[in-house]
Amino acid sequence: MLPLQLQPESHIPLYVQLRDQLRALVHSGELRTGDRIPASRELAGHLGVHRTTVATAYAELESEGLIQGHVGRGTFICNAGLKQFSPAPRTSGDGGMLRWESLFADERGEDGLSRLMPDVPAGAIAFTIARPPAELFPVEEFRRCCSAVMRDQCRNVLQLGSTDGYEPLKRSVIEMLRAEGLSVTDEQLLITDGGQQAIDLLGKAFLRPGDSVAIENPAYPGAIATLAGARIRILPVRVNAEKNSAGLDIDALEAVLTQNRVKFVLITPDFHNPTGTTLPMAERRRLLEVAARYQVPVVEDTIYGRLRLRGSAMPSLRAMDRSASVIQIDSFSKIAFPGLRVGWCIAPESVTERLRLVKQSTDLHTDQLAQATLAEFIRRGYLVRHVAKMRKVYLRRLETLEECLEKEMPQETTWTPTEGGMCLWITLPPGFDAAEFLIHARERGVFFVPGRYFYSQHPQPNTLRLGFASVDEKNITRGIHILAETLKQEIRKRHRGGNGASHARLALV
């Protein structure tokens, strides 16, 4: 038999592991052109996995041209797939073509994680997305703002500007925050290219390779990618997703802080992506107390904070902070327009000044046409009105989603209660793997993101995220019906005992 070793506890789906290992066997020469590989049913039985897992791995290898099936004869390694791995042609005398692959700073290769975010074909029901629906953008208001900017500020907007931000936008943001009860000075505020850049800048300002950062597990994958790219040690802290205890586990955080020198804690206290949890008041206080005690900065991502759909408002960590230990990052992408890359960062003055220097050598400043138009959009009151409208839309969608789940899903399936944001966190019955479940769901036109995508360590393979913000009620109803039916069918298959080995193995996870 082939020397294959699958790890159910990895964040990489089993079919990706299998595909990659088979490919490696070809490249190392252990499998050669013309070699026959086992039938998918046979290999599945041997490995103790679902047959779909093997079939999906084989399908991908076939589309790469690495294997080929012949009806009645079996599946064979073939030649075509090897071409792309032949060494680059050398030209004579001058040292030859450059081999770029050997020059990259890191092994990145094919990223198992990015494969978990499925490509969604048009017409499918996409629970994959956690962003505002384009069809509800206040296009008319936006056009008016853009025209006003073009009329009054065109030359100013088009000339090189300040690294800390376009002055009218800084003023608008400060006024918006003041109206929300948060006092911020111009010197504390830095405009960024969205929340993603804020994380990048914080990394550059505070971290050296090998430094440690504590983040939620699961967490926003963009944060994991930025930190991993900067060669940072990611220390995952459990997120409680149960009814009575929600959000970052402060005891677990304290254990991490006791044992490690942590440069900062990154947390989304409101409507956390992906779990939807909100850190309760008492835990907020404890977090700040622990951070002050260990002298560790807290980076608070409030990107979903304005999307509270029910329940009572809670102050941000920055508003509660008495030790000047909180940096807040925020963005317009969830409350307005993700295609304009504009966000902001609030920090003590000395930190903002450092971030400004770092941003200057990163991209000079954020695009000013977008900044100016958003400033106008806030100034005219359009943003507040738009957010109020979208909260109603999102609440209806969330309630529809919950009703459908309640009505349709098999009993062993649970979800984390949420009071806002854009997504719901689902836990499938034990032993199920959401990445494998997705294979069946997408055949029926329904897409979601497997939970593995969000974990930096110890993934729970039976979790998945449903983004509800950009799916209308009709499609939510239809989509959940399809997911529930698919899941029930899979449960029935298992009860028929067809995959005992796979059960046994996956149940250990």
Of 80, 150, 255, 504, the one binding its own copies by CB under 8 A: 150
Size of the chain in residues: 509
Q: Under rule CB under 8 A, which residues in 292-311 are in contact with its own copies?
A: 292-295, 297
For residue 438, give Cα distances in angstroms to 38, 200, 207, 452: 25, 31, 37, 12
Residue 387 C-beta: closest distance to its own copies, Å: 15
Counting beta carbons within 10 angstroms of the beta carbon of residue 78, is it exposed (0 to 12), middle (13 to 18) or buried (19 or more)?
A: middle
- Piece of 12-20, 27-35, 144-152, 492-500 that binds its own copies (CB under 8 A): 144-152
User: 10 Å Cβ neighbour count for 14?
Assistant: 26
365 Ramachandran zone, left/alpha/beta (phi>0; psi -120 to 50): beta
Binding flag, residue 394, its own copies (CB under 8 A): no
CA terminus-to-terminus distance, the chain: 25
Residue 450 C-beta: closest distance to its own copies, Å: 19
Binding flag, residue 95, its own copies (CB under 8 A): yes
Q: Under rule CB under 8 A, which residues in 438-497 are in contact with its own copies?
A: none
Residue 331 C-beta: closest distance to its own copies, Å: 10
Residue 307 C-beta: closest distance to its own copies, Å: 16
d(CA 289, CA 265): 13
Q: Under rule CB under 8 A, which residues in 248-287 are in contact with its own copies?
A: 263
Binding flag, residue 338, its own copies (CB under 8 A): yes
Binding flag, residue 377, its own copies (CB under 8 A): no
State which residue, 289 or 403, has the beta carbon closest to its own copies. 289
State which residue, 24 or 158, has the beta carbon closest to its own copies. 158
Token match 């999102």: residue?
394
Residue 240 C-beta: closest distance to its own copies, Å: 24
Bridge partner list, 464: 426, 450
Token match 């939510």: residue?
476
Of 365, 397, 440, 465, the one binding its own copies by CB under 8 A: 365
Contacts of 331 by beta carbon, 8 Å cutoff, 6+ apart:
192, 194, 195, 198, 303, 342, 343, 344
State which residue, 35 or 363, has the beta carbon closest to its own copies. 363
Residue 254 C-beta: closest distance to its own copies, Å: 13
**Alpha-carbon Rg for the chain in angstroms:** 25
- Piece of 68-76, 340-348, 459-467, 485-493 that binds its own copies (CB under 8 A): 340-348
Binding flag, residue 337, its own copies (CB under 8 A): yes
User: 10 Å Cβ neighbour count for 417?
Assistant: 16
Residue 361 C-beta: closest distance to its own copies, Å: 4
State which residue, 86 or 91, has the beta carbon closest to its own copies. 91
Binding flag, residue 139, its own copies (CB under 8 A): yes
Alpha helices in 331-367 (DSSP H): 349-363
Of 75, 333, 460, 499, the one binding its own copies by CB under 8 A: 333
d(CA 287, CA 283): 6
Q: Which amino acid, one-letter code, is at 113?
A: L
Binding flag, residue 117, its own copies (CB under 8 A): no
Binding flag, residue 387, its own copies (CB under 8 A): no
Of 32, 41, 143, 474, the one binding its own copies by CB under 8 A: 143
State which residue, 18 or 227, has the beta carbon closest to its own copies. 227
Query: Which strands sit side by side in the sheet containing 262-267, from one edge to the other?
Result: 189-192, 343-346, 326-331, 298-301, 262-267, 212-217, 233-242, 245-248
Residue 342 C-beta: closest distance to its own copies, Å: 8
Binding flag, residue 323, its own copies (CB under 8 A): yes
d(CA 249, CA 217): 10
Site pattern 181..220 for its own copies (x: CB under 8 A): ------------xx-xx--x---xxxxxx-x---------
d(CA 97, CA 93): 11
User: 10 Å Cβ neighbour count for 266?
Assistant: 25
Residue 207 C-beta: closest distance to its own copies, Å: 6
d(CA 96, CA 394): 58
